[in-house]
Amino acid sequence: SAKAAGKRTFRLFCTEMEVRLHERVRLEAKLRAALADMDGLFLYYQPITDVRTRAVTAREALIRWHHPGRGWISPAEFIPIAEESGLIRDLGAWVLRRACEDAASWEDGARVAVNVSPRQLGTGTLASAVLDALFASGLSPDRLEIEVTESALLGDEKAGLADLRRIRDMGVRVALDDFGTGFSSLAHLRAFPFDKIKIDGSFVRDAVQRPDCAAIVGVVADLGRRLGVTTVAEGVETQAHLDLVIAEGCSEVQGYLLGRPAPRAADLPRIADLTAPFPTRKTA
């Protein structure tokens, strides 16, 4: 009967929700444990290259998690869990500290770019986390760059901007990430003196086929030039992408063509252990 069918659907729905909820609760517990022992969490670094000089001006720190049972889990999956569970504060503080420590040992003096979650903004705690990381590492503030997305400013914009102002007053640079996606607004560029605009990779990748996307890349590059702001094209995967974003006037480029995110040297042996499905021991 229809009633029985309805009951079955309802039960199926509940079971699915339960399974997802359980999975989420378990992931959160595992993430909490990983954070407590600093086990399975790594920072990878991807170069950002100046178009004119070809020098690496910065490296973006990108977090990686190796889950004991599931293997590598994308930040797109676990960052939201960290945000909703409140773990993002400790996670964010760890990323800042580790990134600044790593950058302090880079011989080329490149800056390090650190992503900051919306949940880390507007709470009044960002400045002290940044200060801690700079103090512990001895890194000069002008070698740190904080990346925020526009969505980070959508909640309590005043409080968010106040946090950004505090770190910029220390000499830390601030970049607007994924520009053009989500709720883009020129008002953000008026409200805060960003040092850098990062044009989302989706525009860059479409621009070769679509003149409208190329036009958007070009207009943002022009905007950056007139504002005196560096513009980075993200997601540059091919020579055609590179040629296009250079022609459109972007000042810096980032993407697989120029370098994939890679583990820091110190983590290499551990990563190799983790990824080898059947660790083989050298005989003789």
CA distances to 29, 83, 136, 154 from 183, in Å: 32, 20, 36, 8
Q: Tell me which of 98, 235, 251, 252 binds ligand C2E, using CB under 6 A.
A: 235
Which residue lies nearer to ligand C2E by CB, 239 or 283? 239
* DSSP summary character for residue 75: H
Which residue lies nearer to ligand C2E by CB, 62 or 216? 62
Radius of gyration of the chain, Cα coordinates, nearest whole angstrom:
21
Alpha carbon distance 122, 160 (integer Å): 4
Phi, psi of 24 (to 5 degrees): -70, -45
Return the sign of the alpha-carbon dihedral for residues 68, 72, 73, 79: positive
Q: Considering only residues 264 through 283, tell me which ones interact with ligand C2E, judged by CB under 6 A.
A: none
**15 near ligand C2E, judged by CB under 6 A:** no
CA distances to 24, 36, 265, 267, 279 from 273, in Å: 27, 21, 14, 10, 7
Which residue lies nearer to ligand C2E by CB, 229 or 236? 236
| Closest approach of ligand C2E to the CB of residue 179, in Å | 10
Q: Considering only residues 153 through 192, tell me which ones interact with ligand C2E, judged by CB under 6 A.
A: 177-178
**231 near ligand C2E, judged by CB under 6 A:** no
Q: Tell me which of 15, 74, 105, 128 binds ligand C2E, using CB under 6 A.
A: 74
Best CA proximity match to 197, nearest among 236, 121, 252, 245: 252
**201 near ligand C2E, judged by CB under 6 A:** yes
**231 near Mg ion, judged by CB under 5 A:** no
| Closest approach of ligand C2E to the CB of residue 68, in Å | 20
**178 near Mg ion, judged by CB under 5 A:** yes
145 binds, among ligand C2E, Mg ion, none (CB under 5 to 8 A by kind): none
